[in-house]
Structure 1
Amino acid sequence: MADFGVYFGILLISLASTLLLRVIFTKSRIKTHLPPSPCALPVIGHLYLLSKLPHQAFHKISSRYGPLVYLSFGSKPCVLVSSPEIARQCLKTHETCFLNRPKRTNVDYITYGSADFVLAPYGPYWRFMKKLCMSELLGVRILQQHLPIRAEEIKLFLKSLMKKSELREKVNVGEEVAMLSNNIITRMALRRRCCDVEGEGHQLIELVKEMSELGGKFNLGDMFWFLKKLDLQGFGKRLQSVRNKYDAIMERIMKEHEDARKKREEDEEMDMKGDETVKDLLDILLDIYADESSEIKLSRENIKAFVMNIFGAGTETSAYTIEWALAELINHPNIMAKARLEIDSVVGKSRMMKESDIPNLPYVQSIIKETMRIHPTGPLIVRQSTQDCNIEGYCIPARTTLFVNVWAIGRDTNNWNDPLEFQPERFLNKEGLSPLDLKGQNFELLSFGAGRRSCPGASLALHIIHIALAGMIQCFEWKVGEQGNGSIDMEEGPGMALPRAHPLICIPQARIHPFALV
């Protein structure tokens, strides 16, 4: 209550000056043909229309005012897009106008400011890192090299669930799949497992969680320019503390990798056999850091920010999608049965699932597509215009924040029949899997964004999601409630990556024992 009083007082004090700015803005708006807009309040603009789930609040606004809406949040101009046709115009036709991401104070500080690849402005550094991601860090070759890591972690994951099944223990599915994703990514990036509570991998994951929480907090300075230099919410010390801890751990890990690299070089000079293990992502980044002839000279901050991005984005996307998918399958036992029948017919019961089986499982793939349509882990695509742009005959001024409501597009009756129904069959045709793509080619399904700034980790996330969910379907029956036949609520919780409001708690019952299989 005390915090509310402080904020309210500040807003009242600034009311007079802001009203004057509002008058000036209104006059200028008459000259500029902006999209339709709800009634705005002094000072706060349209902030009063938001809720703890912005994508749902945006959907209500679009339902009333149309697929292109102009909004102002404090002193920040914004446009809201909720149709695939207009999304295509913004993210493809006029992509060059929307290649930047808006800066947010908390996120900018945590991710080392301009050193961060994900939030970096479109330019030479961003292009270099995107090319590096596609060719080296997250490309087909490196994903194939790390296949044994994923296979081993899936086996350990299923083995852990099997032990809980034997003891009839309840399982928090979200926690288990998050641990799986974290272990895969920490091993690929740093050659560490995050489940070792005393280890640095676990400490890093916990710090990244805290950073994500702080990064997602509403900062008054982002909305009201006159509060930008004031730390009224006390974020400054918390941000500094958590980033310093992350920085210290990353420096130790980087030093360890650099020492190992130096030893390998010395062994090679002495004609001795060096370490032939596959390089992790940090090794590759440090090689580029040490390369004087590199097109772009990476800093240590660039490397730390990239590793943070991998942890922050990669783990949530995979874990939340698997959790939502399993919840839908439990609520739709007929769909679960069809998926299990497909797996049994293709894989059989004499061996465990492999990643190489996934292309032969179109129904399982359609379940993933349908899950990401109705529960997108990136419910909003956020960009910022770099120049004035004309969309649908309306002027979108430079430095306007663009929100593409992926969640609303996935539930639009103009795009989908019975959009609130979970129907994987909508992604199947006579030839098998429909050509609707998850990687930004189809604007009805923007799970990983679109265009040049689409998510570079999409392939890795999909590898983890498909093999984990297929393994859980193959090996276990999933029981909910005291009698084992309960249903799952599908309420969404607050968060940038669309978590569930309530944890998914199940009791797994073994169908086959995966560790007796070859």
Structure 2
Amino acid sequence: MATTIDILFLLPPLTILLLTIITFTFPHRSQITKLPPTPPRLPLIGHIPHLAGKLPHRALAGLARKYGPILHLHLGQVPAVLISSPPLAGELLKVQDPACADRPDSIGIRILCYNNSDIVSSPYGGYWRQMRKICIIEMLSSKNVRSFCRIREDEVARFVESIFASSAAGESPAVDVSDRIFRLTSSVVSRVAFGRAVGGRDELLGMIDTALTMAVGLELPDIFPALSAAARVLSWNERRLRRLQGKIDGVLDGILEEHRRRRSGEFGGEDIVDVLVRVKDSGDLQFPITDDHIKAVILDMFSGGTDTSSTTIDWAMAELMRNPSAMAKAQVEVREAFKGKKTIQESDIIGLKYLKLIIKETLRLHPPVPIIFRATRNECVVDEYIIPEKYKVLINVWSIGRDPAYWQHPEAFQPERFENSSIDFFGNNFEFVPFGSGRRMCPGINFGLANIEFPLAQLLFHFDWKMPDGKTPDDIDMTEGNGIVVSRKNGLFLIPTPYNSS
């Protein structure tokens, strides 16, 4: 797939000249005084070359280290502000919330999410408040998350049994733990959303993952809005994304049609589509919702609920393998807690304190979504700098979680750093905001944690893990992949040895 930079330099000379004239004839608010400092930039394309060939969160962290914790960037014609320190993040997310509670608009997300009808990308306002309220009260409250425990327990039991079977068969001693974890979380989310693991689930998730990767790229219409019509003609990626979204839409239409015929969740309760259809049919809404709105929320559930949870478990297992003392300490804890139990339930993991420290430390080092994207609804003042209305704001959660001014040995995996610490991830400690903060904070924290804690505890209880022959923990590839959710690029292959608890 050609990148924006590749396409840009292939444009005819007259088009480049036209873009240059537009850029300098209609300067955006770069002339406003008291804007944050700006690193050196190129005419026309601004700071885009700083991002070329690098993962965005790492490239932006490098800029912040060199030029400061608050920067004014130019992504083509689009102005943005980068925030890379806890105090400034707190000022923006708490003091200036809701003045900075919008999401940046983009062609790709608009196409994929049914004209921003989902919860994640919809503009701040009445519709967003209505849908978030439905999400929290009807679907993702602590009570509702607990009601899905039988689904998680059933899927995790199958997950563990499949690893036992692979170990007993001896066909291949190494198990692709990454793939097993992803399939587990996708099955849980599928059953929670639809009442069962739907057919074609893996294909749907693959298409959603591909579409999200395409949708968050820097498209010509996004970085040169003054030339939007001409730029869209040259945007090959947009045409591909529209075709892919059409396929996703067809799959979701079939799922909704089948679900309406069945209309019953597992274990006699409501699944998430039940809830959305019931609310839609009630008519008691300030902003009526359609099937497209339901499909947009389902996309949020699948993309957020599957990738973020599976990615966190995978990073945790990789870090534990590279830190055997932490692995041993975690296994002693879970095996002591589960001793003598023939069946392990979610309620059994409540007291696993060290397990929770491991998850915190994993989220610090590897936040699933490393950059929070916001947009200003009104002018904001942060650290005496002005952020004008309708500016993009990028908060580098990854960089903040590794800030040596707030974390000792920030690159080291040390779960003990959270022991006897009041720091949590519920949006009040701005040196640690993997789920965001303020009004746009992730509404699915309880659901995500439930999908992380129980499977990870079972992996640690039932199996001892070692590297394939000829490999050491130092050989584990910690390279990050690209996308909104940053997972490990390659699979984690480990050899499981069943633990005899008798």
1:226-245 superposed matches below 5 A: 226-229=226-229, 230-245=232-247
Alignment of 1:161-180 (within 5 A): 161-168=163-170, 169=172, 170-180=174-184
Confirm or deny: 8 A CA contact 1:353 1:470 kept in the other structure: no
Shift of 1:509: 1.2
Trace 1:242-257 onto structure 2 (pairs within 5 A): 242-257=244-259
Q: Of the candidates 187, 199, 213, which is equivalent to residue 191 of structure 2? A: 187
Equivalent position amino acid for 2:363 in 1: M
TM-score normalized by the length of structure 2: 0.93
Asked if 1 retains the 8 angstrom alpha-carbon contact of 2:479 and 2:490, the reply is yes
Report how far residue 250 of structure 1 moved: 2.0
2:477 pairs, out of 464, 485, 489, with 489
Structure 1 residue aligned with 2:360: 369
What is the letter of the counterpart of residue 140 of structure 1?
S
The alpha-carbon distance between structure 1 residues 28 and 303, as it changes in their structure 2 partners (threshold 3 A), is closer
Structure-1 residue corresponding to 2:100: 98
Q: CA deviation at 1:339?
A: 0.5
Distance 1:238 1:2 in 2: 12
My pick for the range that moved more, 18-27 or 500-509, is 18-27
The within-5 A match list for 1:368-517 is 368-429=359-420, 434-483=421-470, 485-487=472-474, 488-512=476-500
Alpha-carbon deviation of 1:145? 1.5
Task: Name the structure 2 match of 1:73.
Answer: 75
Number of equivalent positions: 495
1:432-491, CA deviations, whole angstroms, 9 ceiling, x for partnerless residues?
xx3321222211111111111111111111101111111101111111131464432322
Contact 1:352 1:471 survives alignment (8 Å): no
Partner of residue 134 from structure 2, selected from 118, 132, 138: 132
Per-residue CA deviation, residues 304-346 of structure 1 (Å, 9 max, x unaligned), is: 0000110011111001110110001001111100011111222
Q: Structure 1 residues 497 and 130, CA, compared in 2 at 3 Å: closer, same or farther? A: same
Q: In the alignment, what sits opposite 1:145?
A: 147
Structure 2: gaps spanning 5 or more residues? none
Distance 2:137 2:116 in 1: 23
Q: Distance in 2 between matches of 1:112 and 1:511?
A: 48
Do the aligned partners of 2:196 and 2:266 also contact (CA within 8 Å) in 1?
no
Would the aligned equivalents of 2:369 and 2:484 in 1 still touch at CA under 8 Å? yes
Q: For the Cα contact (< 8 Å) 2:28–2:79, is it kept in 1?
A: no
Q: Post-superposition shift, 1:292? A: 2.0
Q: CA deviation at 1:5?
A: 6.7
Q: Secondary structure at the match of 2:350?
A: helix
Q: Give me the whole-angstrom Cα distance separating, in 2, the residues matched to 1:368 and 1:477.
A: 19
2:277 equivalent to 1:286: yes
Q: Secondary structure at the match of 1:386?
A: coil
Q: What secondary structure is seen at the aligned counterpart in 2 of 1:509?
A: strand
The separation in 2 between residues aligned to 1:190 and 1:183, in whole angstroms, is 10
**Shift in alpha-carbon separation, 1:5–1:139, aligned structure 2, 3 A:** closer
Alpha-carbon distance, 1:238 to partner: 2.4
Q: CA deviation at 1:23?
A: 4.8
Partner residue, 1:269: none
- Whether the aligned pair in 1 keeps the contact of 2:22 and 2:226 (CA below 8 Å) is no
Contact 1:288-1:297 at 8 Å conserved across structures: no
Identity of aligned residues (%): 34
Unaligned runs of 5+ in 1: 265-273
Could you tell me how far 1:31 is from its partner in structure 2? 4.3
- The partner residue of 1:336 within 327, 332, 349 is 327
Q: Which range moved further: 281-290 or 111-120?
A: 111-120
Assess if the C-alpha contact under 8 Å between 1:189 and 1:280 holds in 2.
yes
Provide the residue aligned with 2:300 in structure 1: 309
What is the CA deviation profile of residues 260-298 of structure 1, one whole-angstrom value per residue up to 9, with x for unaligned ones? 34xx8xxxxxxxxx9971111001100011112234321
C-alpha separation in 2, matches of 1:330 and 1:275: 36
Greater alpha carbon shift after TM alignment, 235-244 vs 382-391: 235-244
Deviations 1:44-98 (A, max 9, x none): 0000111430101111110011110110000010111011100001111001111
> How far, CA to CA, are the matches of 1:86 and 1:235 in structure 2?
35
Cα distance in 2, alignment partners of residues 288 and 304 from structure 1: 14
SS in 1 for 2:439: helix
Equivalent residue, structure 2, for 1:62: 64
Q: Distance in 1 between matches of 2:88 and 2:119?
A: 27
Q: How far apart are the structure 1 equivalents of 2:249 and 2:59?
A: 37
| Aligned-residue CA RMSD (Å) | 2.3
Post-superposition CA distance 1:76-134 (Å, at most 9, x none): 10111011100001111001111110011111101100422211111111101111111
